[in-house]
Amino acid sequence: MKKILFISVLGLFSCSKNTQTHPPVGGVLSKNDLDVSRQRMKNLNSQERYHIQEWINGQPVKYYPTQLNYWVDAQGFDQRQRRQDDTFISYSYDLYDFDQTKIYDQPVQRRDARFGHFDELKAVEDALRFIHDGEEVTLLVPSALAYGTYGDEKKIDNDIPLIIKLKAL
């Protein structure tokens, strides 16, 4: 009887876990967690900007920095007149990594998208505001303005800077 009681008590205690508590998804993070995350992104952005600049230095094409933190192969690009919300644009773009390997066989293409009403990569949406109809530009985009920390959950991994060849149709 003592054996059964001992085994029962041992079994009861072995079932209880020492669980850690985590904030719920979308929950409040501590100031320290936010500071660590902010510092990580700052360091990652600095590293990516350095590597992109090194890549640019080895290219025959000249690239120009924009105010939003990406580069484009058109001088004065983000100084042009900006397209307004509720105007329409048709466009397509191809994605490449910095080895210049095309990521997807088919381009991303949208017809008659209306500014202010479509969700696109930050750099692409910004560039579409300044691109002329029929123009094609190449964007060099840090990961924070591309697919960021999560990637696209298909072929683009997390924290990957991209080359985007964008064309206004």
Q: What is the pLDDT of residues 105-152, one digit of tens each?
A: 999 999 999 988 888 899 999 999 999 999 999 999 999 999 988 889
The CATH number of the domain where 64 resides is what?
3.10.50.40
Would you place residue 52 in the very low, low, confident or very high pLDDT band (cuts 50, 70, 90)? Answer: very high
User: Does any domain span residue 107?
Assistant: yes
Sheet of 162-168, strands arranged across: 64-65, 71-72, 136-141, 162-168, 88-96, 108-114
User: Does any domain span residue 60?
Assistant: yes
Domain range for 130 is 38-168
User: Does any domain span residue 83?
Assistant: yes
Q: Are strands 162-168 and 108-114 parallel, antiparallel or unpaired?
A: unpaired
Tokens of 140: 């060099």
Give the residue among 124, 134, 132 at the shortest CA–CA distance from 80: 132
Give the residue among 139, 136, 158 at the shortest CA–CA distance from 147: 158
142-159 burial code (b ≥16 CB/10 A, e <16)? bbbbbbbeeebeeebeeb
3-31, pLDDT tens digit by residue? 554 455 445 445 544 444 455 555 666 88
User: Does any domain span residue 19?
Assistant: no
Residue 157 has pLDDT above 50, yes or no: yes
Span 58-80, mean pLDDT? 95
